Chain A
Amino acid sequence: MTMILSDIIPIAIVGLFLFVIIRAGREPLWEEAYRRLGSNRQTMAAIVVMSLFIAIGILDSITVSVSNSGKPQTIVDVMFRGIPQERTYSEPMGTVTVGEPHPHELKHKHIFGTDGVGRDVFYNMLKGCRTAIIIGCLTQLIAMPVALVLGMLAGYFGKLTDDLIQYAYTVLDSIPGVLLLIVIITVLSLKGQERGLLQICTALGVTSWVQLCRLVRGETLKHRDRDYVRAARALGVSHGRILLRHILPNLLPILIITATLGVSGNIISETILTYLGVGVPPDIGSWGNMIDSARMELARQPVIWWNFSVASLAVLILVLCINIFGDALRDAVDPRLRS
């Protein structure tokens, strides 16, 4: 059951984003925004790299066969079937193993070397894409609606609504983040279930909506007293319509930038949580797991640097691309920034 679910989630996430992107393209505001994105080379490069990571994540979510040991094999697994497992570490493009008294000849070339149990590092890195995308996006999809709805209600209606919502998130926010994360993950994994991505996403979602909510509340509060909202009210526009069709579009630029920064923040959180031992379980490939093993590897002689570097580089590139994209999208959507 969980297996099927985790196969569907990344495809569903990407599908949802594609749907939203295509749907939004029909509105003149977004049509123009896309045109602007397209004319920026740096942004296009970021989008291409992001799409590459996403494509790998998708390929890694489609199970096509089952291995001899009964493990499901995704397209990525099948693609790397030809590359054999070595005995232990080996340098990028190396010919012999590292760390053994008598180095063994490698069976195959590995561009980024191999890890402690002889698995190809490049393959491990690719396996981490799916985890990063799920944790980055799913967490944001859990946190954003909560933050948006509560933040806008609190900011717009004020009074008791505002007090209650503010109280709720202030209490939540006063608990140390990492502690709360560990507690939630532990509680969610109690009922005989293994710790999985879903639990981590939920935990990260619960702890990360506060910041966004506070931001949305403040922005809504600011816009609520703007003249255009007053004018809309004087025209007889209802509260719901003012919130959804007048204030929300004005929050979009700031939402987009926060959401994308949130996605990259979540990807980084994953590596930290995994490093702390409460993140992604070791059998699921993730960049956090790769960095986690660096604790031992960096203290070795000779230093095993490639495992750690490749994972960090992957995080860096993906996070950088997401941030560039978010920044450009924010600028493209705001009509005031168009000249």
Chain B
Amino acid sequence: MPSATLSTRAYEASPNVGQASLPVTHIKMPDVLLQLEDLKTYFTVEGGPARAVDGVSFTVEQGKTLAIVGESGCGKSMTGLSILQLVPEPAGYIDGGKVLFEGKDLLDSTWEQMREIRGKDIAMIFQEPMTSLNPVRTIGWQLVEAMEVHGTARGAEARKRAMDSLDRVGLSGPDVVMRQYPHELSGGMRQRVMIAMALSNRPKLLIADEPTTALDVTVQAQILALIRELQQETGMSVLLITHDLGIVAEVSDSVAVMYAGQVVESASTLDLFKSPMHPYTQGLFASIPSRSRRGQDLLTLDGIVPPATAWPSGCRFEPRCRHAWGTCKSVAPKAAPKGADRPVRCHLYDPDIADRPSTSAAPTAEVLP
């Protein structure tokens, strides 16, 4: 299944590079590595199930980067954990849906099969590099273990590869780092170690859950550049979970915007930045400070994401939406009323909804930063 032509450069689609994001023209169907279909992850809490992930579908293509964007509490991290079936037990459980990885539904696999996939085929890095390493084990030990659990390499061979990988992620003096404990490293260094660990078995998919959120801005850029570089080298796909649209613009090929446990809009990065369609996406863009709106008040999205136990019955964004009208309160919008090419979960784009007030014509926002 893997084909060399598909390991397209990750940043081709970024707006800065312009016309390079043509692959969306469907001349050739790209190979799909991961496909989520109607994934539902619920939590048992007081007051009914908390539907943290409620029918999420998206695809990650071979060698490409998909970014999941959304506010805190919209279910993006849980989506990532659900793929590896690492939802915190006993409260959390996967209620339904499919996680097709290379055509096989991961939800059908046993615990042991899943363990084989974790770290080997799909690796994950977390938001907090400060706590994601075992505090009482040396960096070397942890890197070697990552290989040994999957039998990729052992003993001296594993140590040599660990040193190489530390060198590869830009840590100088790998032999010293190998003997160090996590608390002796800075946040950026630890995240580099995490990346080295995650990539030590050459995974086909890397799930990066806010990999740069805990780091300062200069280190953020370095880490993103590193992930991009390594992606080019290995041809892996990346599922990037973030709330930062700046990062999305920089590294991803396509974007899925999540709100209240659902994907509300997905598009190629270029299309999304050119013309965000869902009112929520528009709101996200409008709340980024921009040179073109110098002197104006910064727009904000009023309110917060409702709790997962009490999603609104109609459109989930309706309470915060500027364009909402009566129908939005009672009828849940279709996932893709405009067609599968550009899924936007909004009544504004649904030709079957007739009672749209004239004032709520499909908005266009001048938003490009």
Q: Is the CB of A250 within 8 A of B116?
A: no
For A277, the chain B residues whose CB sits under 8 A away are: none
Cα–Cα, bound, A249→B116 (Å): 24
In the assembled complex, the Cα of A336 lies from the Cα of B197 at a distance in Å of 22
Asked if A35 is an interface residue, CB under 8 A from chain B, the answer is: no
The secondary structure that dominates the A interface is: helix
CB <8 Å contact, A250 and B135: yes
Contact B131 A226 (CB under 8 A): yes
A237 neighbours in B (Cβ, 8 Å) = 115, 119, 145, 149
Q: In this assembly, does A227 line the interface, its C-beta being within 8 Å of a C-beta of chain B?
A: yes
> A245's contact among B131, B135, B145, B146, by CB below 8 Å, is which?
B145
A252 with B86, Cβ < 8 A, contacts A235-B123, A236-B116 known: no
A28-B134 in contact (CB<8A): no
The SS class assigned to the B binding surface is: loop
User: What chain B residues lie within 8 Å of A231 (beta carbons)?
Assistant: 124-126, 132-133, 194, 197
**Bitwise interface map of A from 175 to 200 toward B, beta carbon under 8 Å scored 1, else 0:** 00000000000000000000000000
What residues of A have a CB within 8 angstroms of the CB of B88 in the complex? 225
Q: Is the CB of A227 within 8 A of B179?
A: no
User: Which residue in chain B gives the minimum CB-CB distance to A233?
Assistant: B86
B166 to chain A, nearest CB (A): 16
Chain A: which residue is nearest B115 at the CB level? A236
Q: Is B145's CB under 8 angstroms from A228's CB?
A: no
Residues A235 and B84 in contact in the complex (CB < 8 Å), given A158-B89, A227-B128, A228-B135: no
Measured CB to CB, the nearest residue on chain B to A225 is: B88
Assembly CA distance A238 to B197 (angstroms) = 16
Smallest Cβ distance from A5 to chain B, in angstroms?
38
0 or 1 for each of A204-238: is its CB under 8 Å from B? (1 = yes): 00000000000000000000011110111111111
A234, B197: Cα distance in complex, Å: 11
Q: Of residues 113 to 155 in B, which have CB atoms within 8 Å of A's CB atoms?
A: 115-120, 123-126, 128, 131-138, 145-146, 149-150
Q: Nearest Cβ distance between residue B335 and chain A, in whole angstroms?
A: 29
Chain A residues numbered 238-277 whose CB sits less than 8 Å from any CB in chain B: 238, 241, 245-246, 249-250, 252
The answer to whether B119 and A235 have CB atoms under 8 Å apart is: yes
Return the CB mask of B292-315 against A: 1 if under 8 Å, else 0: 000000000000000000000000
Compute how far the CA of A245 lies from the CA of B125 in the bound complex, rounded to whole angstroms.
Answer: 20
Number of interface residues of A (CB under 8 A): 26
* In the complex, chain A residues whose CB is within 8 Å of the CB of B246: none
The answer to whether A228 touches B149 (Cβ under 8 A) is no
CB-nearest residue of chain A to B184:
A335
In the complex, how many residue pairs between chain A and chain B have their CB atoms under 8 Å apart? 79
Question: For residue B125, which residues in chain A have a CB less than 8 angstroms away from its CB?
Answer: 231
| Contact in complex: A230, B126 (CB < 8 Å) | yes
Q: Judging by beta carbons under 8 Å apart, are A336 and B179 in contact?
A: no
Contact A252/B132 with A158-B89, A233-B86, A235-B118 known, Cβ cut-off 8 Å:
no
Check: B90 CB closer than 8 A to any chain A CB.
yes
The complex places the Cα of A238 from the Cα of B179 at a distance, in Å, of 24
Q: A158-B90, A245-B145 given as contacts; is B131 within 8 A of A234 (CB)?
A: no
Cβ of B21 to closest chain A Cβ, rounded Å: 31
* Cβ B128 vs Cβ A29 within 8 A: no
Among the listed B120, B123, B138, B198, which residue makes an inter-chain contact with A28, where contact means beta carbons less than 8 Å apart? B138
How far does the alpha carbon of A228 sit from the alpha carbon of B182 in the complex, in Å? 11
Give A31 Cβ to nearest chain B Cβ, in Å: 12
Whether B181 is near chain A, meaning CB under 8 Å from some CB there, is yes
The distance from the CB of B179 to the nearest CB of chain A, in whole angstroms, is 7
Known: A236-B116, A236-B119. A228 touches B197 (CB 8 A): no
Distance from B175 Cβ to chain A, minimum over Cβ atoms (Å):
14
A7 close to B (CB within 8 Å) = no
Q: How far apart are the CA atoms of A29 and B84 in the complex, in Å? A: 32
Q: Within A105-147, which residues are at the interface with B (CB < 8 Å)?
A: none
* Given A228-B132, A235-B198, A238-B115, 6 further pairs, Cβ under 8 A: A227-B131, A227-B132, A234-B119, A236-B116, A252-B136, A336-B136
Sample of 30 A–B contacts (CB below 8 Å): A28-B138, A28-B179, A158-B90, A226-B131, A227-B128, A227-B131, A228-B131, A228-B132, A228-B135, A230-B126, A230-B132, A231-B124, A231-B194, A234-B124, A235-B119, A235-B123, A235-B145, A235-B149, A236-B118, A238-B115, A238-B149, A246-B134, A249-B134, A252-B136, A334-B136, A335-B135, A335-B181, A335-B183, A336-B135, A336-B136
Binding site for A on B (CB under 8 A): 84, 86, 88-90, 115-120, 123-126, 128, 131-138, 145-146, 149-150, 179, 181, 183, 194, 197-198
Binding site for B on A (CB under 8 A): 28-29, 158-159, 225-228, 230-238, 241, 245-246, 249-250, 252, 334-336
